[in-house]
Structure 1
Amino acid sequence: MFAYEIHQMRSAELRRQADQERLAREALRGRRAGRRSAGREAPVAESHSQGSRRHRFTRAA
């Protein structure tokens, strides 16, 4: 009987852990979706790497 109770407790703990991980994934997915939708409304930021490809230092001989 003792082994069965340990099994039940471990099973319940694994279920709780899976629920917490699922909630964390859903929250992360929601934040990403929020950033994506907010990004569409925001103006496009200019990148410093676009445009000319001038290097910072001259090439060594």
Structure 2
Amino acid sequence: MTVRTRGRPPAFGRERAILDAARLFWRRGCSGTSTRALTAALGPSAAILYGVFGHKAGLSE
């Protein structure tokens, strides 16, 4: 059984998330990349992504 903790996963890094998101946006476009695709690729929940970046487009700024 996996125990989940609150907050960002230890492996989550802002710079890495921006690079990985940029790759997704390049392939699919910003509007074509769902929040579900971002969370699957980056790891943290949507709430964490919005907390860190404010909105989906914040990943590309």
TM (normalized to structure 2)?
0.27
Q: Which has more radius of gyration?
A: 1
Q: Kindly indicate which of the two structures has a greater share of residues assigned to helix.
A: 1
Higher relative contact order (CA closer than 8 Å, sequence separation 6+)? 2
TM (normalized to structure 1)?
0.27
